[in-house]
Amino acid sequence: MGQWEVTGPIGAGGWATVYAGRPAADGPDGPDGRNPTDRRPGRDGDRQPGEVALKVMPTAGLAPRQARGVAEAARREVDLARRTGHPRLVRLLDSVVLCAPDHPALDGAIVLVMERARCSLRDLIDAGVTEAEGGRLIAGVCEGLAHLHRAGWVHSDLKPENVLIGADGSVKLADFGLATELTGTHGHGPPMGTLGYLPPERWRAPLGELGVQVRPSADVWALGIVIHEVFASGASPFPGATAAARGAAVQEYAEGRAPLRMDTAVPEFWRALAADCLAPTHTARAAHTADSLLRRIGAEGSGRPRTAPRRPPVRGWRRTRAALLAVTVCGAAGAALWSYSGRAAPAAPPAGTGEPPVRVRVFNAERGCQERADRDPQCSLGLAIDPMRPYAAENVVPTRVWHGDVLDAECQMPGGQAVIDEEDLQSTGWFRVRLPQPGAARATAWLPAVRTKDRPELPRCPHRTTAAR
Q: Return the active site residues.
A: 157
- Between the CA of residue 461 and those of 6, 139, 395, 466, what are the distances in Å? 37, 51, 19, 8
For 162-200, b/e burial (b = at least 16 CB within 10 A) is bbbbeeeeebbbbbbbbbbbbeeebbbbbbbbbbbbbbb
Strand pairing category for 4-12 and 17-23: antiparallel
Burial class (CB in 10 A: 0-12, 13-18, 19+), 157: buried
Cα(417)–Cα(398) distance, integer angstroms: 19
Cα(433)–Cα(445) distance, integer angstroms: 6
Cα(359)–Cα(409) distance, integer angstroms: 6
DSSP string, 299-368: HHHTTPPP---SSPPP-TTSPP--SS--S---TTS--B---------PBPPPTTS-PPPEEEEB----HH
Cα(291)–Cα(222) distance, integer angstroms: 15
- Between the CA of residue 374 and those of 75, 347, 401, what are the distances in Å? 30, 38, 12
- Between the CA of residue 214 and those of 58, 152, 209, 314, what are the distances in Å? 27, 12, 14, 32
CB neighbours of 420 closer than 8 A, spacing ≥ 6?
13, 14, 15, 331, 335, 426, 450
Please name which of 161, 173, 190, 225 lies closest in space to residue 68, comparing C-alpha atoms: 190
- Asked whether the beta carbons of 432 and 351 are under 8 A apart, the reply is no
Cα(190)–Cα(210) distance, integer angstroms: 8
- Asked whether the beta carbons of 286 and 217 are under 8 A apart, the reply is yes
Cα(336)–Cα(13) distance, integer angstroms: 11
**Longest CA span, the chain:** 76
Cα(111)–Cα(94) distance, integer angstroms: 8
- Asked whether the beta carbons of 375 and 402 are under 8 A apart, the reply is yes
- Asked whether the beta carbons of 43 and 91 are under 8 A apart, the reply is yes
Cα(408)–Cα(431) distance, integer angstroms: 9
